[in-house]
Structures are given as structure tokens and as C-alpha cells.
A and B are shown apart, each in its own frame.
Chain A
Amino acid sequence: MEIVNDDYTVQYNSETKTVICSGTFRLTGSEYAAITEILNTAADAKPDVLTLDLTGLKFLNSSGINTLSKFIIRLRKHQASQVNVKGNSEFAWQKKSLANFQKLLPGLTLDFD
């Protein structure tokens, strides 16, 4: 499953159990529905390990962080997956915001480069 356009890409690979988000997320709340659908599919597959690769995500607006947070909550509820988030320290916002994912899912591992 994937969404690819000029601004951003969202890919879910069930074999590698990886979700990749890259580009610039500047959508409004309701526009995130298609992305949420992919994320829910990934969470509901309840893989033993799930990698969220954000190394190519340059920009994320507030609705975007909301969407990703709800994804993390869904994973926590399933209690099925070891979640590993890959970040990129080049994008300053990631350092602060991604660390907060651990508040939602204490077992989540965070990996910068």
C-alpha cells in the first residue's frame, strides 16, 4: 500500500513490516484520512515488529503529528508489536516531537541515524 505524490510519500511494506513516511505533510485534518487508512492497516496486521521510518520526513504539521500519535496509540492498544521509530536529526522538530511517542507507548524505541 502506498500514496505517492509531489509533496509526500506513505508506504506500508507488509513483508519488511515497515511504514515509510517521507516528504512534507501539510494537509488539513480530514485530508489525512487516506494516510490513516494505511497506518491502521499496518497496525491491525499486528506484526511482531513494526518499523516507522521517518528519516525522509522534512515537515509535519499539527494534524500530521496527531495522525501519527493516534497510530502509536492504536499499536499500543493491540499490544502486539515492538515499535521502532527511525528519525533524522537533520530535521530539528523530530528530536522533540518523536521523543513524545514514548509517552504514548513506553516500550517504543527511537533511533536517530
Chain B
Amino acid sequence: MDQPTLEVVESTDELQAEIATLRQQVEDLEQEKVDLETLLEMTTEHSDSVEEELYGKAEEAIKESERRLRMIIQATPVAVVITDINTGAIVFANAIAGPLVGLSTDDLVGRKVTDFYLNPSERARLVELLNKHDQVDHYEVEFVRDDGSQFWIDISMRYLEFNEKPSILAAWNDISHLKELQQAALRFVPREFMSFMEKDTLVDIHLGDHISDEMTVMFTDLRSFTTISEDMTPQQNFNFINAYLGRVSPVVQKNGGFIVKYMGDGIMALFPGDADDGVQAGIEKLNQVKNYNAERIKVGRFPIGVGIGVNTGQMMVGVVGDAERMEADSFSPEVTLTSRVEGLTKHYGVSFIITAATKQRLVDPTRYKIRFLDKVQVKGKTNALELYEVYDADLPQVRLLKEETQEQYEQAMVHYYAKEFEKAQEILFRVLLKNPKDKVAWHHLTITTQCLENGIEENWTGVTVMTSK
């Protein structure tokens, strides 16, 4: 080794200064280390306290919002109920909710909400709707109170997080009174008329709304009601007419028709479906009258008679009146004609007349006892109208006699229109020998005899011209 071991020998002073600097640096570093540790500690502590504070505030905010929610619900003048969405258990209810279902609010909480649905599956349907649309607004549901009585509510639902559980907030509105009003209104405007007019509520019905279509119309009238009513007090009159209408009206609805209006003792009914509906309803009406008469005779009252006219054609059904007073009505030349046809039941002494238009549209005319009545020209019409008698509702022995003589009778009419009056007369005699009470046969015999005795005009067609209404 030729290198010297110590080249520079520093002075003691310089060395001392160097040592001092290094010491200072170490001190600074240590201070910095302490500072950093303090900083870390401070930052952590600060974070903790701020977190704690925020959490407390959030909790307080939740409690406050829940407190406010309860307060608002309690002050709401509608029954409000919060239910667990999954179990249907009622977890909260305001003071109005309990009494609505006949319970105290304390007793209501804890019960299953489905206990109060008349049809419990309806709640599942509403929850499904809520899932789909996020809200359920104004559904009408039939409810049942704790004592079993039923009533209608209008229900609206929203999602709600309550006590950290998925819940439903529901508002229940008692609409029984509204429903009663609706029911009352429907006694004035029949539901069938509403659905026929494609209307959901009465509010949707407006003056001038109408539907024009081929329909079957029926007029029914009480025979000689004016004479009957003369012997009765006003109250007896009302009782009688309502007892009668109450018996015959339901068959209209039963056979797919609806009553357009009552005209004193008269009924105007429409059948939008098959012509058969009108014929069937007429037969059933006459049967109802027979039953009613049996009751009347039993208590010493006189039997009543009715006349029914049925026709099929283009009719207009709609709403007439003024903005303040409306009523359902139906009109068209066919409707007017039907009223005349009904009037002819008196003229021929029969109960039930249908026009050829109705007979042609019957799905199966052989189901009914129908025989030719006459060719007529009613007032205001130029064309001849073929009329038929429906005698299904005649007394069994009368019906049997008409059935037995129908072929002969109709043969006589063929001869009559062929101007073979002697043949017609002869056959009608034979019909009347079998069934002397056949008023229609008597009528035609009289006419035939007149033709024989007085002769006929050159343009004779055999059509009976009605000069009166």
C-alpha cells in the first residue's frame, strides 16, 4: 500500500461544525417524523369525528323525516295505511283508517290488510300493478269491515321505505256514498244503455250522443189502463203500475235488451242482438202477466191484458232533451211503426204481433208458434206490411187449437189474396168450427164475406188500410 492513510486532516472546529449540522438534520428529521405522526393521528381523528357527526345528522334526519311523515299522515283527512309489501301486515295506520273498517287504530296495526279485501286476491293484483307502473291510482275495491259488512273504497298506492322495510303506503277513501248514488242513477239510466252507448260513467253521457244500427224494438202496453185507473186512488194507481212493471220489466234485461223508457203504463225496449231476443222477451212477458193475473184473480181482482208489438229495422238510440234534463230515447220510422203495430193488437184481439222484418231475421222461426195475421197499410205508410201473430203464451188449450187449425187457416188466406173468396170463406168456417173463439179467423171471415157480398174494386190487393193510429 503506497497510499497515505490520511490525506486531509480537518481542523477540530470544522469537525465540530459538521457534527452540529448533522445533529440539527437528525433533529429536524425527528421533528418531521413527529409532525407526520401527529398529522396522521390528527387527520384520522378528524375523519372519525366528522364521520360520527355526519352519521348522527343522517340518523336524526331519518328520524325527523319519519316523524314528519307520521305527522302528515295523521293530519291527512283520508285513511292512510302502511303495509309490509311482502306479508301484507299493517305496520302503521292513521286515526281515520281504524274506524273505517270498524276497528280502533291500535287494533288495526298488526292485522293483515287482506282481511279487509272482500276478494283477497285483489291486493296481489294491485301490488302487481304497483310493480309495473310505480303507482296505483284510484282503484275501486270492495272492502269488508271487521263485522262482515261490505263497502266500497277508492284505493291509491305508493312505494315507501318504512322502518327500513319495503312497504306500501295506501290511501283508502270511502266511496260507498258515491256508489249508492251511482246505483241510484243507474235506476234512471240503465247500465245496458250505458254499455250499449259505449260509455263508462254517466258523466260521459252527452246530449246528442247516439248510435244508429239495426235493432229490434218492442212496445208493450196495458189494455184499457185508463178505464182501470178510473176506479183507483192515485196511490193505488202507482202501486198497480209499479207492481205490473216490476213483473214484466226484468225479462227484457234477461233477454239481452234494455228498457229505453217507460211511457206511463207503456214500455219501450230495445234488443241490439238477435231478433229472437225480442220475440223471446215478449213471450216471457206474457207468461209473467199470466202469473200476475192468477195472483190477482186469487185476491178478487180483475185480470189485466197487454199488447206487444215487435219490429226489426234501422233505429237510432240516443240522448234527447235539454242540457239540464236528458233522457234516453229511440226513434226512426221503424220505431213509430212498431208503436202502431202494438196498437193493432187491440184491433185483431191478439196479444203479440211481430212484423215480417222480425220474422225473417229469426235464427230459427220454428222455435215459436207464429202464424200469419194480415197485410196492412198503416197510417203514414205507402207500403203494405205483413204482420204475424206469436201465440206461444196463449193458454195451452187455445194454443193447441191454433196449432191444429194453422195450416187450414193459412190456406184460406192464400185463397183470399187470390180473390177466391168462396174457398177462403169455406175453409175459415171449418177453422171456426174447431176453434170458435179464434178472433183472427172471425175477422178474416167477416172481410171475406164483405168481399163476396159487396164485390171488390179492380185494383183490390187485399191489404187492410188502417186509417186510424
A100 contacts B42, C-beta separation under 8 Å: yes
A100: chain B residues at CB < 8 Å are 38, 41-42, 45-46
Given A73-B35, A104-B35, also A65-B53 (CB < 8 A): no
Task: Decide if A62 is an interface residue (CB 8 Å cutoff).
Answer: yes
Interface of chain B: mostly helix, strand, loop or mixed: helix
Q: Give a binary string over A34-73; 1 marks a CB under 8 Å from any B CB, 0 the rest.
A: 0000000000000000000000000111100110011001
B39 contacts A69, C-beta separation under 8 Å: yes
Q: How many residues belonging to A are interface residues under a CB distance threshold of 8 Å?
A: 16
**Min CB distance, B246 to chain A, in Å?**
79
Task: Decide if B22 is an interface residue (CB 8 Å cutoff).
Answer: no
Identify 29 residue pairs between A and B in the complex whose beta-carbon atoms are under 8 Å apart, listed by A's number.
A60-B50, A61-B50, A62-B43, A62-B47, A65-B43, A66-B39, A69-B38, A69-B39, A69-B42, A69-B43, A70-B39, A73-B35, A92-B53, A93-B46, A93-B49, A93-B53, A96-B46, A96-B49, A97-B42, A97-B46, A97-B49, A100-B42, A100-B45, A100-B46, A103-B42, A104-B35, A104-B38, A104-B39, A104-B42
A65: chain B residues at CB < 8 Å are 42-43, 46
Q: A96-B45, A97-B49 are in contact. List 16 more A-B contacts (CB 8 A).
A: A60-B50, A62-B43, A62-B46, A69-B42, A73-B35, A93-B49, A93-B50, A96-B49, A97-B45, A97-B46, A100-B38, A100-B42, A100-B45, A103-B38, A103-B42, A104-B38
**Min CB distance, B346 to chain A, in Å?**
95
Instruction: Give residues 92-113 of A contacting B (CB, 8 Å).
Output: 92-93, 96-97, 100, 103-104
**Min CB distance, B103 to chain A, in Å?**
46
B49: chain A residues at CB < 8 Å are 92-93, 96-97
**Min CB distance, B179 to chain A, in Å?**
56
Bound CA span A92–B45, Å? 13
Query: CB-nearest residue of chain B relative to A104?
Result: B38
Instruction: Give residues 31-80 of B contacting A (CB, 8 Å).
Output: 35, 38-39, 41-43, 45-47, 49-50, 53
Query: 6 shortest A-B CB distances, which residue pairs?
Result: A65-B46, A100-B42, A97-B46, A96-B49, A93-B49, A62-B47
Query: CB-nearest residue of chain B relative to A95?
Result: B49
Query: CB-nearest residue of chain B relative to A100?
Result: B42
B53 contacts A66, C-beta separation under 8 Å: no
Q: Give a binary string over A61-88; 1 marks a CB under 8 Å from any B CB, 0 the rest.
A: 1100110011001000000000000000
Bound CA span A91–B234, Å? 88
Bound CA span A27–B39, Å? 18
**Chain A CB within 10 Å, residue with most, of B38, B43, B46:** B46
**Min CB distance, A92 to chain B, in Å?**
5
Bound CA span A61–B44, Å? 11
B43: chain A residues at CB < 8 Å are 62, 65-66, 69
A104: chain B residues at CB < 8 Å are 35, 38-39, 42
Query: CB-nearest residue of chain A relative to B48?
Result: A96
Bound CA span A65–B48, Å? 12
Query: CB-nearest residue of chain A relative to B35?
Result: A73
